[in-house]
Chain A
Amino acid sequence: MSIPGPVPLEVLSACGVSKAFGAVQALHDVSVTCRAGEIHALVGENGSGKSTLLGIASGFLAPDEGTVEIGGSRLQSHSPAAARRLGLGIAYQDYSHVLDLSVAENLFLAVPVEARPPYGQMESWAEATLEEFNLILPVTAPTGSLSLAQRQFLEVVKALLTRPKVLLLDEPTTALGPEAVEQLHALVLEQARAGVAIVYVSHRLPEVLAVADRVTVLRDGVSQGTFPAASVSEDGLVELMIGRPLAAAFPERRAPDADADVLLAVTGLQGERFGPIDLAVRKGEILGIAGAEGNGQVQFLRALAGVERAVGRASCDGASLDTRSPLGPLRAGVVLLSGDRRGEALFPVLSVRANATVPVLRRLARFGVVGHRRERRAIADLVERLRVRMGSTEQPVQSLSGGNQQKVSLIRPFLRGDVKVILAEEPTQGVDVGARFDIYEALRGKADEGLAAIVKSSDPLELAGLCDRVVVMSRGRIVEEIPRHELGERRIVEAIVGSRTGVTARDDDGAQA
């Protein structure tokens, strides 16, 4: 028998971890290990227990059963500070920045006390540190003035500044365009080569599979196994995640009707970070907006909805659209599904029912009094049709998973009979695979009824599968239009990259600050 080679050191091991929140068993006897130099992907639907597992590994949550070892030492007290001392760094999905403090101050606070520079040299140190990571950011600017993509990168840098043995990345690419994703992956691979154990959580299977060595799949709090990344296919993983093969990922598209009336027309619209833009969307059409993050796509959509300031002309169904306030577009039947669900689209503590019916209360009220039964009746069909998974319609919307929250905000345009245009900003961000299809189907169903929709998404695959036509934006303007018969993930990505020749992500981001 030959002597076995050196076994890679297991730097993170979660052993037999279980955790329940009330009656819900979030994790059941899950064991995961991550070796030095390994990139370990953790995938699963929303609510499958990924976040709980990360929370336990990073010391934010205490497990009911089981143990966590970091670098060979057991995590005794369950606090983020204790996990950090043992050598764990984590990049949170929703970041750990203090937005009112400067970039330099945030970096300073992210470093362990003993490794911090003298207080007075913070800014020059911050500049040098960012340079190490090939990142150019204004160090004295408040972190809140950075773009989301910049914040996301900064979050990963902050985690790395602790010189971790174990790095946990929770959805680190949600705000990044394809080019920035590659930049991030290069950084992650470099860390792995240097011997850091990396646990990488992502919804984006192609992305995570491109860099991962091993993959662990979670479903309903139970591990479905750990596999070498080379031996699994996306289809196979999806099947493990949802427990059934996904028949078709996107709803069927009808043949486009080139003679349909133009429903939304935009002429020379421009705002702080986009324009001038000319655009026409026909009845029954779903138009996709692609582009590297931070090229004005979101601002354009928000300007159309009257949320952001803009000059220029827009009309809906022949009538001029007053975009000076959200009221004008709303009255004209243009509704925005904000990407910031918690902040803008939903009232997190209110029930599913209240969230769904709030725009149409006048219709549901009789003599000024809203009958709950009338409300429930109004949404009963829609809840079923959109497959909102919940205990009851009285449940606070914040207790639902991301995908189900999105579905609740999607009920609104269905309740109003007079909606003509749906503007959807990242409609499936943070939404699991199964729920995505329901959302696509809802949007397509609305289009088939004669509405128009504009979908802004950072996922090229989604745009290719869902849309009738995709426009690519760069530096605030439309630089390319991809017709239906050419649509494909590769085509869109190429358009995004091609349209940005000679422009780095950093130049673009810097221009927005």
Chain B
Amino acid sequence: MKRGWLPLALMTTLILALGAYAEVHSSAFLGKQNLNSLLLEAMPLIVVSMGQATALLVGGFDISVAALMTMCVVTASFTMTPSSSGITLVLGALALVGVGVATGMFNAFLIRVLRLPSIVATLGTLSVLEGASLLLRSYPNGTINTDVTNALNSGVTFIPFAFVGVVALALLADGWLYRTRTGLAFRAVGLDATSSRRLGMSTGRTVLLAFVLCSVMASIAGFYLAAEVQVGSPIIGNQALESIAAAVLGGASLAGGKGSFFGTMLAALFLTEIDNVLPLFQEPSEYADMTIGVLILLALVLYQAPELIARARTGRQRVARLPAETAGEAPAA
């Protein structure tokens, strides 16, 4: 658990450092409007990354999340039209969650029943969803209801209510993961599925739950994206790799069983901040991708550093200490 704080500390530091740097170079950064748009921009990535973190926790990947977000945007352009209001609008929004649940079940079926590796299974799902989106909207068309957009963007000063919501959700989720019986069982399945099954845990149900949660979070992210773009675009979602990056930067292990929702939230915020800050310096966006790549590598090395250092140190110490300890001791006969 001690090591679990490292990603949180690193992400917080980076967010603040980049913010301070940006503010020094351009006073526009700390403006309420810019901070507000930064948080709003970050919402889809934060939500989808938290979903991705659940998939990583059980030792899987879900690279179909971006295509699912696109599918949800396209679906929204049919179910959440400007003419719908009240109950029809709620049903329209629920349709997106329905798409998420169905996708998650399908992924879990491929992984658990057909025993496909999750990366291959969700790659298939990704293609199917992309095709379906293009089938429904071959070009960006269909306006999405702006009432929803306005509701999502409301908040106090520059902080959207929705952002407060995801922060609370991340904290609750981490509390569940590290402070409850079911959270422990969830991590155990991710760390060692065979042992968990031997101990009588239902590993299949855990994986199903993780992938359905992941897809539901992706569909909520798609809902946000729809509110942002306000048109049924079939080529909008591209956060699959970014969501994995955020989860990993937030402390998730690709081998499963380790991760933090709060850390993921911070990392997603940081990744969005990079995108947000670069225009202030008139830097091309290619630098953002390269920066993110380098940061992921550095962070992963840093996260493992305590272990490596500890191992090296104890190894040396023990070798050096052993003769002194045993020298005065007559071998028992």
Name A residues whose Cβ lies closer than 8 Å to a Cβ of B. 60, 80-81, 84-85, 90, 92, 95-101, 105, 108-110, 112-113, 116, 119, 158, 270-273, 275-276, 309-311, 474-477, 479-480, 498-503
Contacts and interface: CB of A to CB of B under 8 A. Distances in A.
B326 interface: yes
B56 to A, nearest CB: 15
Given A96-B199, A109-B199, A309-B319, 19 more contacts: A80-B200, A81-B200, A85-B200, A100-B191, A100-B258, A105-B184, A105-B188, A109-B184, A109-B185, A112-B200, A119-B181, A271-B319, A272-B315, A272-B318, A474-B331, A475-B326, A477-B326, A477-B331, A499-B332
Contact of B187 (A101, A474, A476): A101
Contacts of B187: 101
A90 B314 CA distance: 36
Contacts of A275: 322
B184 A108 contact: yes
Nearest to B183: A119
8 contacts: A81-B202, A100-B192, A101-B184, A101-B188, A270-B323, A275-B322, A476-B326, A498-B333
B319 to A, nearest CB: 6
Interface in B154-208: 179-181, 184-185, 187-188, 191-192, 194-202
Contacts of A480: 333
Contacts, number: 87
Interface in B97-112: none
Contacts of B194: 96
B222 interface: no
Nearest to B188: A98
Nearest to A474: B332
B196 A98 contact: yes
Contact of B333 (A81, A110, A309, A499): A499
Interface of B: 179-181, 184-185, 187-188, 191-192, 194-202, 257-258, 315, 318-319, 322-323, 326, 331-333
Nearest to B255: A100
A499 B318 CA distance: 23
B70 to A, nearest CB: 36
Given A80-B197, A92-B198, A499-B333, A98 B192 contact: yes
Contacts of A272: 315, 318-319, 322
Most buried by B among A98, A112, A272, A477: A98
Contacts of A116: 181
Contacts of A101: 184, 187-188, 191
A110 B181 contact: no
A147 to B, nearest CB: 15
A189 B195 CA distance: 26
B207 to A, nearest CB: 15
A501 B332 contact: yes
Contacts of A110: 199
A90 B197 CA distance: 12
B58 to A, nearest CB: 13
Which 3 pairs show the lowest CB-CB distances between chains A and B?
A96-B198, A81-B200, A96-B195
B179 A119 contact: yes
A119 B184 CA distance: 10
B194 to A, nearest CB: 8
Contacts of A270: 319, 322-323
Contacts of B319: 270-272, 309-311
A101 B199 CA distance: 14
A99 B200 CA distance: 17
A96 B200 CA distance: 10
B312 to A, nearest CB: 10
A60 B187 CA distance: 22
Contacts of A99: 191-192
B64 to A, nearest CB: 28
B68 to A, nearest CB: 31
Contacts of A479: 331-333
A98 B179 contact: no
A273 B318 CA distance: 8
Given A109-B199, A109-B201, A100 B181 contact: no
A501 B331 CA distance: 11
Contacts of B196: 98, 109
B191 A309 contact: no
B315 A309 contact: yes
A43 B185 CA distance: 35
B173 to A, nearest CB: 16
Contacts of B332: 474, 479, 499-503
B135 to A, nearest CB: 40
Contacts of A97: 192, 195
Contacts of B201: 81, 109
A475 B188 CA distance: 34
Residue with the highest number of chain B CB atoms closer than 10 Å, among A81, A90, A92: A81
A158 B326 CA distance: 35
B129 to A, nearest CB: 33
A198 to B, nearest CB: 18
A498 B191 CA distance: 41
B220 to A, nearest CB: 29
A341 to B, nearest CB: 18
A119 B333 contact: no
Contacts of A90: 198
Nearest to A270: B322
A272 to B, nearest CB: 4
A195 B257 CA distance: 38
Nearest to A119: B181
Nearest to A102: B1
Contacts of B257: 98, 100
Nearest to A81: B200
B261 to A, nearest CB: 19
A503 B180 CA distance: 39
A108 to B, nearest CB: 7
A271 B199 CA distance: 37
Contacts of B179: 119
Given A119-B179, A477-B331, A479-B333, A84 B200 contact: yes
Contacts of B315: 272, 309
Contacts of A499: 332-333
A310 B315 CA distance: 10
A113 B185 CA distance: 11
A473 to B, nearest CB: 10
Nearest to B193: A98
Contacts of B197: 80
Contacts of A311: 319
